[in-house]
Amino acid sequence: MGGKSLLMGQTLLCTANPFGAAPRDAFVHNRNGAVLIENGIIAAVGNSSELLHKHRNANVHNHSGCLLLPGFIDPHVHYPQTAVIASWGERLLEWLSLHTFPEEMKFCEQDYASKIAELYFDIALKNGTTTACSFCTVHPESVEAFFRSAKNRGLRAAAGKVCMDRNAPSGLLDDARRGYEESRHLLKRWHGRGRLSYVITPRFAVTSSRGQLEALGDLWREFPDCLMQTHIAEQPEEIAEVARLFPESLDYLDVYDSCGLLGSRGLYGHAIHLSTRERDRLKEFGAALIHCPTSNAFIGSGLFDLRQRMREGQKLGLATDTAGGSSFSMLRTMASAYEIGQLNGSAIHPGQLIWLATEGNARVLGMERQIGSLRVGNEADILVLDLLSTEAIAQRAGRADDIWEELFPTIMMGDDRAVKSVWVSGNKVVG
Ligand SMILES: [Zn+2]
């Protein structure tokens, strides 16, 4: 921070929502672009020659040919599951019992939680993700570890203590009162501190009693500027279990709705198998549906119809769901969203995929004035993407006629090798 840095490369500036306008008309591409960073903020965006001339004292980083993008945003991850990614077999409820819950038990120890938080951020940053919104575990130590690591790295990050008071091993349970009080304490301690935000986090209706959900609804009413995150309608077996546990409710969403857990700052992970009533109600509140395509394919949950949900006017995010998801990479997540789109009969444009992973996700988190685009005044979280990172990608990109054809092979086949450098708050942290 302090000095000026000038990053030179291709720029792709979004001027309209590419799900509203034609995707090709929603961006301005500049093959000789540049971004000026000053005091951790994006101070100017324009032509490289002009900015170079105007700011002769800036430290120049020439990434000619690479694409400068806002850092990727991942609005639904479980950082405590980092070490159990790619665990073989079973459906959602079995997968949780077999792989996830035993690992989450270890987060009662601060040292272990810190070790995994550091590992998670190392991997996420190498993949170009500069902001994550994470579920922690039931233990306050897991939240402390996440926020401390994010703070030390200067990251914008969001997270919350998972609340569960039934249907999980006893070492992972709180109760309605403790869930409320620990969440409230962590919220007061971390929310709004620097770049950090607290997220009220009931895991899902299967693992919380009505009393616990109502207590968290009260907490959200007390702190309405907080986000709330949970899961909904991921698998048919899960939906049947929610119907059995809450026979008085109309449907899955009604469980949350009736407990004060439906709102415009709500993030609802998966949301695959919703009824028309539930979709209408989510839209009425402007709540966000978070699509987690690698997770849905990996756990066999179903095909989320992104195009149809966009058409009906839902607010949508795109996330890894690490580690139900099988990748830390937002590039792989975009590829998976494209494949699931194809299975639903619609090809999602690369501009739409990039928009979802950046500005779209910033909107979902209510952070579009800080991150998610290369707008002047935004925080300088920037990713330098190498569009020729492997031989297989380079030979295809080399035949491209425009930026979309040049970028698409990296979306479909790229990984952390395509992430050449990453800047957080104007400081280079990768590359
Ligand atoms: Zn999840």
Distance 232 CA to ligand 1 centre (A): 9
Ligand 1 center–CA 228 separation, angstroms? 13
- Percent of the chain at pLDDT > 70 equals 100
Mind listing the pLDDT tens digit for each residue in 234-287?
999 999 999 999 999 999 999 999 999 999 999 999 999 999 999 999 999 999
Q: Does domain 4-71+372-430 have CATH number 2.60.120.620?
A: no
Mean pLDDT over each residue of the chain, to the nearest integer:
97
Q: Can you tell me the mean pLDDT for 353-360?
A: 98
Distance from the CA of 164 to the center of ligand 1, in angstroms?
Answer: 14
Report CA(136)–ligand 1 centroid distance (Å): 10
CB 302 within 8 A of CB 233: no
- pLDDT, residue 95, reads 87
pLDDT at 216: 98
Residue 3's pLDDT is what?
A: 83
Question: Residue 126 C-alpha to ligand 1 middle, in angstroms?
Answer: 21
Are 66 and 281 in contact, with CB atoms under 8 Å apart? no
- If you average pLDDT over residues 102-126, what whole number do you get? 97
pLDDT over 70 (residue 20): yes
Rounded Cα distance between 407 and 414, Å, is: 10
Rounded to an integer, the average pLDDT of 339-362 is 98
Q: How confident is the model at residue 93 (pLDDT cuts 50, 70, 90)?
A: confident
Q: Residue 24 pLDDT more than 80? A: yes
State mean pLDDT over 398-402: 96
- Give the total residue count for the chain: 431
Note the pLDDT tens digit of each residue in 142-182.
999 999 999 999 999 999 999 999 999 999 999 999 999 99
Distance from residue 36's CA to the centre of ligand 1 (Å): 36
Ligand 1 center to 302 CA (angstroms): 15
Question: How far does residue 188's CA lie from ligand 1's centre (Å)?
Answer: 24
CA of 289 from ligand 1 middle (Å) equals 12
Ligand 1 centroid to 359 CA: how many Å?
A: 21
> In this predicted structure, what is the pLDDT of residue 128?
98
Whether the CB-CB separation of 32 and 48 falls below 8 Å is answered with: yes
pLDDT tens-digit readout, 54-78: 999 999 999 999 999 999 999 999 9
Span from the CA of 269 to the centroid of ligand 1 (angstroms): 6
Residue type, position 48, single letter: S
Q: Ligand 1 mean position to 290 CA, how many Å?
A: 10
SS (H, E, C) 86-97: CCCCCCHHHHHH
C-alpha 44 – ligand 1 centre gap (Å): 37
Residues of the chain with CATH 3.20.20.140: 72-364
pLDDT tier for residue 195 given thresholds of 50, 70 and 90: very high
Give distance in angstroms: CA of 324 to centre of ligand 1: 7
Distance 319 CA to ligand 1 centre (A): 9
CB-based contacts of 91, cutoff 8 Å, min separation 6: 235, 237, 299, 300
* Total-model pTM: 0.98
In this prediction, residue 2 carries a pLDDT of 55
Which regions of the chain carry the CATH code 2.30.40.10?
Answer: 4-71+372-430
Between the CA of 56 and the centroid of ligand 1 the distance, in Å, is 47
Q: Is the pLDDT of residue 221 over 80?
A: yes
pLDDT at 1: 46
- Helix, strand, or coil here: 211? helix
The Å distance, Cα 19 to ligand 1 centre, comes to 25
The rounded distance, in Å, linking the Cα atoms of 363 and 349 is: 19
What is the Å distance from ligand 1's center to 178 Cα? 22
CA 33–ligand 1 middle distance (angstroms):
37
pLDDT digits (tens, 9 = 90+) for 288-311: 999 999 999 999 999 999 999 999
- Closest Cα partner for 81 from 366, 348, 323? 323
**CA 50 to centroid of ligand 1, rounded, Å:** 45
Q: Which residues surround ligand 1, an ion (CB under 5 A)?
A: 269, 321
Single-letter code of the amino acid located at 410: T
Cα 81 to ligand 1 centre (Å): 10
Instruction: Kindly give the distance from the C-alpha atom of residue 388 to the centroid of ligand 1, in angstroms, as a whole number.
Output: 32
How far is ligand 1, taken at its centre, from the CA of residue 37, in Å? 34
Ligand 1 centre distance from Cα of residue 131 (Å): 16
Q: In this structure, are residues 30 and 47 in contact, taking their beta carbons and an 8 Å threshold?
A: yes
CA of 218 to the centre of ligand 1 (A): 23
CATH T-level assignment (fold) for domain 72-364: TIM Barrel (3.20.20)
Contact of 160 with 75, CB cutoff 8 Å: no
Q: Which residue has the tokens 């620097």?
A: 194
Nearest 10 degrees: Cα torsion 47, 49, 51, 52:
150
